[in-house]
Structure 1
Amino acid sequence: MSELMKYAESADLYSKISNLITAKKYTVSRAVNSAIVFLYWEIGETICKDILQNHKAEYGKNIINEVAKQLSQNYGKGFDRTAIFRMVQFYQEFPDKEKVATLSQQLTWSHFVVLLPIEDELKRDFYAAMCKSENWSVRVLRERKNSMLYERTAISKKPDETIKNDIALLMEKDKMSLDLFYRDPYVLDFLGLKDTYSEKDLENAILSELERFILEMGSDFAFMARQKHFVLDGKDYYMDLLFYHRSLRRLVLIELKLGAFEPEHKGQVELYLRWLKKNEMCEGEDDPIALILCAEKSQETVELVELDKGSIHVAQYLTKMPPKKLLEEKLAIAIENAKEQLEQR
């Protein structure tokens, strides 16, 4: 056998074994993570059922304090008083064992630690489902939570039953609804734009920071084209940004508008969507959708031209993150207005 053949066979064998090792490491890592998460959940369950439900609150706390002291001495700081009470909270906030089993395949204990302080169950389930679907790291989860992603997502303005159904669909079948996808406002403070800039500046800044922009949009995005060109009746047209979203199985058109939303933007984008459907849509995909990102929008105008009901959505972008209190107030008003409109239908 020639040295060349020996080298080729050796390289092939090494590649196969290396792939086996990598795959097994990943499998073992997931199994270990799942086992740890389940251990903490079972500790919380045991304490809740054996101690907290059968004793007065103060007496139960004293017992937990004593047990935590012994556990931390034997098993380390990971079982001190704070950690044990967090496990109790984990069981109380996630009592469904099957849900924990599903989430623990991708979420680490550190993910759950970030999720536990969220008091609203629907909001907590939203972040958990998004973590699972988009494979967020703990850092990304914190960033999304701090930027109030849930409140900015269209689903937060829907009735509770709709929110539950859409989250369950994402959690169980990894199928994302449009209400989970759309958000308003989009926070683009990472672009570093000056006070005076053009739509081209905005587009260039987004493309130069494409990875962070896509994270704000959602990690299932794939970039396809910039200034997508087509000719209709001898006239040139250019679409700003074109993406593909894997979970939605749709082309996503993004149009950037420097000023306020104007009604004529709807007609322009409708033309683009019809062209995409006729010329770019592949078999098995759903119809293309569009997002118009503008500096300002009048909700009255958006409602009058009947957007946000179909395939076109309008959202503001913020090139600087506003104070959290101001953002909370703005979003609270938007949510209340949306719920009032739903109740009047």
Structure 2
Amino acid sequence: MMEQDKNKLDDTPVALTPLPAGYQDWLASLKTRIHTAQQRATLAVNRELVLLYWQIGQEILTRQSTQGWGAKVIDHLAHDLRVAFPEMKGFSPRNLKYMRTFAQNWGSSEFVQEVLAQLPWYHHITLLDKLKTQATREWYAQQAITHNWSRNVLVMQIETNLMDRSGKAVNNFAQCLPAPQSDLARESLKDPYRLDFLGLGQDAQERAVEAALVEHITQFLLELGAGFAFVGKQVHVVVGGEDFYLDLLFYHLKLRCYVVVELKAGDFKPEHTGQISFYLSAVDSLLKHPDDQPSIGLLLCKNHNRIVAEYALRDSHKPIGIAQYQLGDAIPSELKIGLPTIEQIEQELSNKTPSQDKANHD
């Protein structure tokens, strides 16, 4: 009991009144450095794990192809490795088969070391399970690295077909913005936008959609993509003594400009471009900082005719994108952050049926 009391006393900070000058800044610096060191250690461990798994997969492939080893050797190898390294996880037969498939799909050791080793192993399992071609796997892998996606966010982006939607909004950026600003702006918009997470029916009106987007702003920012920062809804501007209200206003950190988002619950109409052009002029005049780039408009419509939209933008001098939004059933909102443990990976692998495993690895 006395020893426990002594330990408690040892952990009690000494009261210093006042604290030395600069102490709080030094403490903040130490916390930042410790956190950074922890992140680097986690990334280093993950990198070594991914490289080890790729090497094991390569050696399994080599021995099976050149020495005629059968599939059963994986079961024996899993048993022997777990006996030799009981404290290590990840040597189940299923995970060894994933290592083989991983190596089979990524033959370049340089690409694995320089790019893929930045992703957790669980991300690689997701890429192998959910995507069929190398081009799509590479695209989603690069996006996951660039935007630091968790595994659940990666799954959601794949299931909502992000690759085919990115950069697809009708726009006039090439004629209104200088390169490379125009290219970055084009890639920052998509078509259609998936707003399933709102849980609204197809007949939802503009104000209902707007209110739900603000209520679920975290999910909406995720759907908009990296770089968007929310400024406000129904943003009030005064022009010529008259009041006007912008549906949603964002600031894009990479484009360094305001983005005005206007919602239309019906079909796109050419006159919509005049309204958002007016709003962009107001933002550029009243809100834009001299160092900011020209503001960009995004018209989100229930439907649009691409040809009509292209004609409507042809002679516009304001950078505008036009895209559809889709409403539907709510999707799960759990966006798990952080690296999963090997135990979690093993648990999910063990929940797969033998037919699923065979389909993935035959």
| TM-score, normalization by structure 2 | 0.71
User: Which residue in the other structure is 1:265 paired with?
Assistant: 272
Pair 1:61-2:71 in alignment:
yes
* Aligned pair partner of 1:81 in 93, 116, 130: 93
- Contact map agreement 2:194 2:327 (CA 8 A) in 1: yes
Pair 1:143-2:156 in alignment:
yes
**CA separation in 1, counterparts of 2:115 and 2:169?**
22
Shift of 1:39: 1.4
Identity %: 32
**CA separation in 2, counterparts of 1:204 and 1:106?**
38
Pair 1:246-2:253 in alignment:
yes
**CA separation in 1, counterparts of 2:240 and 2:19?**
63
User: Which residue in the other structure is 1:23 paired with?
Assistant: 36
- Contact map agreement 2:78 2:92 (CA 8 A) in 1: yes
**CA separation in 2, counterparts of 1:204 and 1:218?**
20
User: Which residue in the other structure is 1:332 paired with?
Assistant: none
Structure with larger Rg: 2
* Aligned pair partner of 2:105 in 93, 112, 135: 93
Letter of the 1:82 partner, please give it. Answer: R
**CA separation in 1, counterparts of 2:29 and 2:189?**
43
**CA separation in 2, counterparts of 1:122 and 1:279?**
44
User: Which residue in the other structure is 1:169 paired with?
Assistant: none
User: Which residue in the other structure is 2:324 paired with?
Assistant: 316
Task: Provide closer, same or farther for how the CA distance between residues 150 and 19 of structure 1 changes in structure 2, counting only shifts above 3 A.
Answer: closer
User: Which residue in the other structure is 1:4 paired with?
Assistant: 17
User: Which residue in the other structure is 2:122 paired with?
Assistant: 110
**CA separation in 1, counterparts of 2:250 and 2:305?**
26
Deviations 1:113-134 (A, max 9, x none): 1112312223222211221122
Letter of the 1:137 partner, please give it. Answer: S
Shift of 1:198: 2.8
- Contact map agreement 1:263 1:301 (CA 8 A) in 2: yes
| Aligned residues: CA RMSD | 3.3
**CA separation in 2, counterparts of 1:241 and 1:11?**
39
Task: Provide closer, same or farther for how the CA distance between residues 208 and 87 of structure 1 changes in structure 2, counting only shifts above 3 A.
Answer: same
User: Which residue in the other structure is 2:343 paired with?
Assistant: none
User: Which residue in the other structure is 1:172 paired with?
Assistant: none
Pair 1:133-2:146 in alignment:
yes
Pair 1:225-2:226 in alignment:
no
- Contact map agreement 1:176 1:247 (CA 8 A) in 2: no
Shift of 1:255: 0.6
Task: Provide closer, same or farther for how the CA distance between residues 18 and 270 of structure 1 changes in structure 2, counting only shifts above 3 A.
Answer: closer
**CA separation in 1, counterparts of 2:138 and 2:232?**
34
Shift of 1:179: 4.3
Corresponding pairs, count: 301
Letter of the 1:252 partner, please give it. Answer: V
- Contact map agreement 2:260 2:295 (CA 8 A) in 1: yes
Task: Provide closer, same or farther for how the CA distance between residues 16 and 214 of structure 1 changes in structure 2, counting only shifts above 3 A.
Answer: closer
Letter of the 2:138 partner, please give it. Answer: D
Shift of 1:235: 3.6
Task: Provide closer, same or farther for how the CA distance between residues 224 and 21 of structure 1 changes in structure 2, counting only shifts above 3 A.
Answer: same
**CA separation in 1, counterparts of 2:27 and 2:209?**
48
Letter of the 1:92 partner, please give it. Answer: Q
Letter of the 1:119 partner, please give it. Answer: K
When structure 1 is superposed on structure 2, of 4-13 and 256-265 the one drifting more is 4-13
The alignment partner of 2:247 has SS state of strand
Letter of the 1:147 partner, please give it. Answer: T
The equivalences for 1:157-168 within 5 A come to: none
User: Which residue in the other structure is 1:198 paired with?
Assistant: 205
- Contact map agreement 1:186 1:316 (CA 8 A) in 2: yes
**CA separation in 2, counterparts of 1:125 and 1:276?**
38
User: Which residue in the other structure is 1:47 paired with?
Assistant: 60
Shift of 1:102: 4.2
User: Which residue in the other structure is 2:346 paired with?
Assistant: none
The alignment partner of 1:125 has SS state of helix
Letter of the 2:152 partner, please give it. Answer: R
**CA separation in 2, counterparts of 1:238 and 1:74?**
68
Pair 1:212-2:212 in alignment:
no
- Contact map agreement 1:187 1:321 (CA 8 A) in 2: no
Letter of the 1:232 partner, please give it. Answer: V
Shift of 1:270: 2.2
User: Which residue in the other structure is 2:338 paired with?
Assistant: none
Point out where structure 1 has 5 or more consecutive residues left out of the alignment: 158-174, 323-345
Deviations 1:90-113 (A, max 9, x none): 223333444434445752111111
- Contact map agreement 1:188 1:319 (CA 8 A) in 2: yes
- Contact map agreement 1:71 1:79 (CA 8 A) in 2: yes
User: Which residue in the other structure is 1:303 paired with?
Assistant: 310
- Contact map agreement 1:289 1:311 (CA 8 A) in 2: yes
The alignment partner of 2:231 has SS state of strand
- Contact map agreement 1:176 1:248 (CA 8 A) in 2: no
Shift of 1:222: 0.6
Letter of the 1:61 partner, please give it. Answer: A
Shift of 1:273: 2.6
When structure 1 is superposed on structure 2, of 139-148 and 67-76 the one drifting more is 67-76
- Contact map agreement 1:33 1:104 (CA 8 A) in 2: no
**CA separation in 2, counterparts of 1:25 and 1:132?**
18
Point out where structure 2 has 5 or more consecutive residues left out of the alignment: 1-14, 171-181, 331-362
Structure 1 or 2: larger helix share?
1
